[in-house]
Structure 1
Amino acid sequence: MSAINNYQNRGPLPDLKDLEHCNTAATTMGVYSSLGTLAFSLASRNPFATWTSLAALAGSLFGHHSAREATEKNELRMTTYSLVDVVTEKNDQIKTKDKIIQDQQGEIERLTVINAELEDKVKRLEQTQKSFDELNEEHIKILEEQTKQIEEKRDILSKLTGLVEGYETRKAKHVEEMRETRQQREALQSDIKALLAEQKKINENLAERVHGLGEVASRVDQGVKD
């Protein structure tokens, strides 16, 4: 009601601010018209006309005061409606931002689970590759030892020359296949690690966006409270 009190504190007589509204502008003209009539009555020294003019002036002042209060109450009501609309809009914005934050947090949690699964697969792949490499090394050592034994007995086992040559060919082919397989596994591991690094970067970006939206929501909430 402070705005209405401002009208009351301006005094009973009309002022320039009253001319800004149709209701108070009309009553302003009425008050000054009554004042003119009163002045004329006083000048004519007519007691009846003077009292009548005073009564008319009192009525005009009362009507003007009522028009002021009605105008201010109407302005206050419109201001209140506007504030309610603003608060409602801000609340809707906050709810929307909260929903976005929740969705992004859910996406981060889902990506975290996927990352954990990928990391577990990489660890198992590394363990499998390590076991495979150890087995290959052991197999190659056996092949080398067998080849050495065959070479030492080549003079005695001349009839097995063809077999040894075929064995050497198979050994070379097997070693080449093992080398290619290892290269393929290393390439696959490199691709998976690159995917994990990219996924980690995506998670960090999403976390920064969630943090930024949280700050925006806090500022909006603080602005609504203010």
Structure 2
Amino acid sequence: FMSAINNYQNRGPLPDLKDLEHCNTAATTMGVYSSLGTLAFSLASRNPFATWTSLAALAGSLFGHHSAREATEKNELRMTTYSLIDVVTEKNDQIKTKDKIIQDQQGEIERLTAINAELEEKVKRLEQTQKSFDELNEEHIKILEEQTKQIEEKRDILSKLTGLVEGYETRKAKHVEEMRETRQQREALQSDIKALLAEQKRINENLAERVHRLGEVASRVHQGVKD
């Protein structure tokens, strides 16, 4: 844009090839050169009246040519300005769109971060529950083992209670099996939660990378507009 203005300012008063590109200045260019030819003929004929008349005609042609050139230049500058405004408007719209996408992605990242925090809290509570449950199971097993030991020591005395002991052993085995199954279910649930957290971490990394790329694109767009 500034280069176009400088080109217009650096042009001389006489017609040039640039003037032939437009209808208005092309016509006045022909008028100027026609007046120059008439002046040269008048000078050659040494006719003072014709010479002064030719000079006046040349002055009028130059004035008309200057006016036509000025109008043409203003029109070109106006069209160039409109084009630049359209380009800047389009760039601004693109920047706004990119900013909206980035804001949406950041909102999604914040939402996923909140979900991750909630899942981590649940995992912590599950681990604490599991630890308490394991301690309780160990204590219960120790009690069962101690009771079993006492029963074995008093087997001779409690021989009449063999049926009760066998029933107790059955219940004990059933209880141990139930605890084993519960532990397996808990371990499977913990494994699923860990897999979910790993997948969530991968999604967050992908989203962060996309936001970073969009930030670079927005920076380049801003830089392009400044240039």
> Fold-level match, TM-score > 0.5?
yes
Measured against aligned partners, the alpha-carbon deviations of 1:23-69 in whole angstroms (never above 9, x if no partner) come to 11111111112222222333333333222222211111111111111
Q: 3-state SS of the aligned residue for 2:13?
A: coil
Cα 1:49/1:8, change in 2 over 3 Å: farther
Secondary structure of 1:172's aligned partner: helix
Change (3 A) 1:162 1:115: same
**Preserved contact between residue 7 and residue 68 of structure 1 (Cα < 8 Å):** no
Q: Match for residue 168 of structure 2?
A: 167
CA RMSD of aligned residues (A): 2.0
Deviation (angstroms), 1:200: 2.0
**Residue 18 (structure 1) aligns with:** 19
Evaluate the alpha carbon distance shift between residue 125 and residue 8 of structure 1 in structure 2; reply closer, same or farther with a 3 A threshold. Answer: closer
Greater mean deviation of Cα atoms: 120-129 or 7-16? 7-16
Question: Conserved in 2, the CA contact under 8 Å of 1:115 and 1:199?
Answer: yes
Residue 5 and residue 102 in structure 1: after superposition, are their counterparts in 2 closer, same or farther (change >3 A)?
Answer: closer
Is the contact made by 1:24 and 1:64 (CA closer than 8 Å) also made in structure 2? yes
Deviation at 1:222, TM superposition (A): 2.6
> TM-score by structure 2 length?
0.90
Please state how far the C-alpha of 1:178 moved relative to its aligned partner: 0.7
Q: Where do 4+ consecutive residues of structure 1 move more than 6 Å?
A: none
Contact 1:4–1:73, Cα closer than 8 Å, also in 2: no
Equivalent position of 2:32 in the other structure: 31
- Structure 1 position 112, deviation (Å): 1.6
- Identity, in percent, stands at 97
How many residues are paired up?
A: 226
Q: CA deviation at 1:149?
A: 2.1
> What is the alpha-carbon distance in structure 1 between the residues aligned to residue 72 and residue 108 of structure 2?
54
User: Structure 2: which 5+ runs fail to align?
Assistant: none
- Displacement of 1:153 in angstroms is 2.5
| Unaligned residue ranges in structure 1 (runs of 5+) | none
**Deviation of the 1:218 alpha carbon:** 2.5
Q: TM-score, normalising length from structure 1? A: 0.90
Secondary structure, aligned partner of 2:132: helix
Maintained 8 Å contact 1:4/1:69? no
